[in-house]
Structure 1
Amino acid sequence: MRLLSLVLAGGLAAAGFGGAYAAEDIFDLSPEQPGRIHVEADPALAAKLPADFKWVVPGSFTVAVAAAGEPPLGTYATDAATVVGADPDIAWLVADKLGLKLNLVPVAWADWPLGLTSGKYDAVISNVGVTEERKLKFDFSTYRQGLHGFFVVTDSPITSLKQPKDVAGLKIATSSGTIQDRIINEWNKENVAAGLPASDILYYEDTPAALLAIQSGRVDAIFNVNSIFTYQGLKTGAIHQVGTVNAGWPNTTEVGITTRKDSGLAPVLTEALNAVIADGSYLKTLERWHLAPEAVETAKTNPPGLPKY
C-alpha cells in the first residue's frame, strides 16, 4: 500500500488533479532525521521507573511500531530499513527523558497485542487508541488525540463538515468496519430521524482507491484517519481538510503508549510525556509531522476509552 500511495501523487498530477510533490519535500523521510527533536534526560524521573521491571534489553526502551503503515505516523525511511515518523519520534522523546537508549522494533499492527503480552517489547507506540476493552489487558499513557478528518478536493464548494447535518445528502467515502464507519453511520441515522436526506456511504479499503474516487467525482468527501489524509493532501495538493471528529464521538478518546497491565511503567511514561509537553519539545515534534492539531494538553494514565459497541 505504501508504494501505491507514493506513486499515486504522480498519477494524480498526470491526470490534472492538483500539484504533486515528492514526500521528502513535505516530510523528512531520511534515515538520518536531522530535524528530530531530542531532550535531556531527567535522572529524578528515571529513578521512578519500577526496579523490578524486566526490560527486553537492559538500559534500552524497546518499542514496537507498525512501520508498514502510511506516513506520517510510522513508515520506513528512504533506505527502506529505518523506522521514522511521528510515533517513533514520540518514542525518542520518552527514551531521552528517561535516559534510555531507544530500540525500535517494526511489527505488523495486528501483532502488537500478543507481542506486548509475551514480553517481546516494553511498550507499543503505534497509534493505539484507548478503549475500555483494551484497558482490561493493557495500560495507557496518552500522547495524541484520535482524530478522523473530512477531506474534499481543493476546488470543492464544501467548506465545513463537522456535525451530522453537514453530511446530509452527500456521498462519503470511508473504510468498512472501522471507527469512522461507525461514526458516519450514526450520523446518517441521526439525519434520517431528523428528516434530512441520507448520506450515501461508499467503502474503499485503501488510500489510493479513496483518492481516485474523490478525483472522479464518485464521492463528495473522504472521512478517514486524519493523519494519513493530511499527509496525502500536503503531498498531492489535491485534497484538504474541512473538519475533524474525535474517534470517541460523541465522547472523546485518545491514543496512548501501550504497556502491559500493572507493569508499573505507565505512570512514569505519563510523567515523561507531561515533561516534554511542558518544555515544548512535544509540540515541536508533532509540528514537524504536521500533526499539531492532534496534540493533547495533558498526558493521562488510563483515561476513559472507547466503549465496546
Structure 2
Amino acid sequence: MLALILGSWAIFGPTQGPAVAQAPFDLGPEQPGRVRADKQPEAIAALPKGFKFVEPGVFTVAVSPGGPPLATYATDAKTVVGADADFAQLIADSLGLRLDLQPIAWADWPLGLASGKYDAVISNVGVTEQRKEKFDFSTYRKGLHGFFVRADSKVTAISEPKDAAGLKISVGGGTNQERILVEWSKQNVAAGLKPIELQLFDDEAGRLVALRSGRVDVIVQPHAQLVFIAARDKDIRRVGTLSAGWPLKSDVAITTRKGSGLVDALTNATNGLIANGKFRASLARWNLEEEALDRSETNPPGLPKY
C-alpha cells in the first residue's frame, strides 16, 4: 500500500535511467555553467558549535544518479551532474565548504545516513511523517507530477479534475499517479462529467509510445522525467503539474540525521539561495524552475503514514 501511495519510487527516489546520447543539457563533467554562491555568514553561524562533518572542511553528500535532469553520470561515466548535484554545490558554497558527492543506490541512503557515512542526502527525498521519526528535513523543491501532451495536441491546460474529464491518460500501473487520477475520475463522474480513461503501463517507453501514436491524449509521471524528454525530443509539451502528494503538499528536502543539529543551517542556507536568486538560476539550467519553492522549511508536515 505504501508504494502505491508514494509513487513509482517511495517519495520520490530515482527518476529514470542513465543519460542518453543527444542530451538537451550539458552532461559533461566540467559543468562550466554551474551556478556558484558566496559564503552566507548567517548560515555558517547557524552551525552547531563544534559540529563535526564527516570530513573537516567538506560537505559530504549522498546522491543517487538515477537519471537526468536531477542526477546522472556525466559523459565521463563517473562524475555526477544534474539539478541535485548543482544544489549540493550551492549549499557547500554557502557554508564555506568543499563538496564531496557520494554516488549511491537510492535505496541505500537511510542506512548510510544513519550510520554517519555522509553529512546529508540531496537526492529527491520527499518529506513523510514516518521519515521524520529518524531524519530531519530542509525543503528545497516541490514534488511534482507532470501532465504532458503531444506537441500538436489541442489540450492546453490541466490543473484540476474537470480539465481531464473524458481524456485518455497513460500512467504507470500501481503508482501514485494512478491513485490520484482514479480519485479525479470519481470526482468527475460525481459531478456529471465524463470519467478519465486510464491506460496502465509498467514502463516509460510504453507510455510514451501510446502518447506519440495517439492512443492516449496525455502522459502523467514525475515532472522532472518528462521535462528532460520534452527538451530532448521536442515532440511533447507540458500542460500542467500536480503535487505528488495530492491533495496534500509534497516537498523534496535535504535529509540529515535526526538531531544532528545541521538542519537549521541548511534551511538558513537554502532560504538565502532562494532570496538571492541563485537557486532558481540553478534550476533554470535544467528547465525545472516550476519546482522551485518560495521558502525552505525545517521539518514541515509530511505525507502521512498509510
Q: Measure, in 1, the Cα distance between the counterparts of 2:105 and 2:299.
A: 24
Aligned residue for 2:62? 64
- Partner SS state of residue 103, structure 2: strand
Q: Measure, in 1, the Cα distance between the counterparts of 2:127 and 2:102.
A: 21
Aligned residue for 1:19? none
Q: Measure, in 1, the Cα distance between the counterparts of 2:58 and 2:196.
A: 50
- Please state if 1:2 is matched with 2:17: yes
Q: CA deviation at 1:54?
A: 3.8
Task: Map 1:202-213 onto structure 2 (within 5 A).
Answer: 202-213=199-210
Correspondent of 2:109 among 109, 112, 116: 112
Q: CA deviation at 1:60?
A: 0.9
Q: CA deviation at 1:121?
A: 1.3
Q: Measure, in 1, the Cα distance between the counterparts of 2:110 and 2:25.
A: 29
Q: What code does the residue aligned with 2:54 have?
A: V
Pick which of 93-102 and 208-217 moved more.
208-217
CA deviations 1:40-78 (Å, max 9, x no partner) are 2234532431235442222211111111x2210010111
Aligned residue for 1:15? none
Q: What code does the residue aligned with 1:32 have?
A: E
Does the 8 Å CA contact 2:40/2:272 hold for their aligned counterparts?
Answer: no
Correspondent of 1:88 among 69, 76, 85: 85
- Partner SS state of residue 37, structure 2: coil
Task: Map 1:94-105 onto structure 2 (within 5 A).
Answer: 94-105=91-102
Identity among equivalent positions (%) equals 57
- Partner SS state of residue 151, structure 1: strand
Q: CA deviation at 1:132?
A: 1.6
Q: Measure, in 2, the Cα distance between the counterparts of 1:134 and 1:121.
A: 17
Q: Measure, in 1, the Cα distance between the counterparts of 2:235 and 2:114.
A: 42
Does the 8 Å CA contact 2:250/2:303 hold for their aligned counterparts?
Answer: yes
Q: CA deviation at 1:205?
A: 3.1
Q: What code does the residue aligned with 1:222 have?
A: I
Q: Measure, in 2, the Cα distance between the counterparts of 1:145 and 1:44.
A: 25
Q: Measure, in 2, the Cα distance between the counterparts of 1:53 and 1:172.
A: 50
Correspondent of 1:33 among 13, 31, 34: 31
Pick which of 271-280 and 209-218 moved more.
209-218
Q: Measure, in 2, the Cα distance between the counterparts of 1:56 and 1:174.
A: 41
CA deviations 1:108-164 (Å, max 9, x no partner) are 112211211122211111111111221121111011111111000011111111111
- Please state if 1:306 is matched with 2:288: no
- Partner SS state of residue 102, structure 1: strand
Task: Map 1:275-286 onto structure 2 (within 5 A).
Answer: 275-286=272-283
- Partner SS state of residue 20, structure 2: helix
- Please state if 1:235 is matched with 2:232: yes
Q: Measure, in 2, the Cα distance between the counterparts of 1:89 and 1:153.
A: 30
Q: What code does the residue aligned with 2:298 have?
A: T
Q: CA deviation at 1:39?
A: 1.2
Alignment RMSD (CA, Å): 1.7
Q: Measure, in 1, the Cα distance between the counterparts of 2:92 and 2:185.
A: 44
- Partner SS state of residue 6, structure 1: coil
Q: Measure, in 1, the Cα distance between the counterparts of 2:128 and 2:203.
A: 24
Aligned residue for 1:193? 190
Q: CA deviation at 1:181?
A: 2.3
Aligned residue for 1:140? 137
Q: Measure, in 1, the Cα distance between the counterparts of 2:278 and 2:128.
A: 27
Does the 8 Å CA contact 2:126/2:143 hold for their aligned counterparts?
Answer: yes
Does the 8 Å CA contact 1:145/1:295 hold for their aligned counterparts?
Answer: yes
Q: Give the total of aligned pairs.
A: 291
Q: Measure, in 2, the Cα distance between the counterparts of 1:126 and 1:300.
A: 17
- Please state if 1:224 is matched with 2:221: yes
- Please state if 1:214 is matched with 2:211: yes
Show structure 1 runs of 5+ residues with no match: 8-21
